[in-house]
Amino acid sequence: MSKAVFLDRDGTLNAAVIRDERPYPPATPGELELIDGVADACAELTGAGFKLVCITNQPDIARGTQERATVDAINARLLELLALDEIVVCPHDDADDCPCRKPRPGMILDSAERLGIDLARSVTVGDRWRDVDAGHGAGTRTVFIDRGYAEQQPAAQPDLTVSDLKESIPWILASTL
């Protein structure tokens, strides 16, 4: 079985749009901007034998403020820029009570089954409490990218807290042998 790094999208791989100290996704593929060091970090992880899976909540689809086609176009652009194995999207909002919406681990569990991933040797990385809690729920190690958002902190203690993805690479490589 393979090992993987499950990566949140907005605020982890690409720059989130910040309004009122809260992160939001880019509105168009043209607004997509990779965070410095992300491409190198992904290449290093791929070179070390990790599958890379982006797991992203996109509730604006359910809210009617973003078209699914636009989200798909943003994800297609991200796949062009990074060596990701797949991008998994939850288009639901909290009221939908969906098992795939983070903090629930559904996207991670489904992807692990589909791609033959050993969750005990894998890591979930994200910039929000939902990412860390989903990783814990799936049985992965977790990395919290603390961007200082004005929102709740992870309920589960992350295994590592960093300021960006690149900073987490040595720990990920050492802790998943």
The string over 153-164, giving b where at least 16 C-beta atoms fall within 10 Å of a residue's C-beta and e elsewhere, is: ebeeebbbbbeb
What is the tens place of the pLDDT at every residue in 139-177? 999 999 999 888 888 888 999 999 999 999 999 999 876
Catalytic residue status for 10? yes
The answer to whether the annotation marks 8 as part of a ligand binding site is: yes
Mean pLDDT, rounded, for 11-20? 91
127 is in an annotated binding site: yes
Range of the domain at 123: 3-175
Please count the structural domains in the chain: 1
* 72 included as an active-site residue: no
42-86: pLDDT as tens digits:
999 999 999 999 999 998 999 988 999 999 999 999 999 999 999
- Helices and strands counted in the chain (H then E): 6, 8
What is the share, in percent, of the chain residues with pLDDT greater than 90?
A: 84
- Please tell me whether 85 is known to bind a ligand: no
Is 136 annotated as belonging to a binding site? no
Q: Which of 10, 60, 85, 133 is catalytic?
A: 10
CATH code for position 81 = 3.40.50.1000
Provide the whole-model pTM. Answer: 0.96
| Residue 114: both structure tokens together | 């589909």
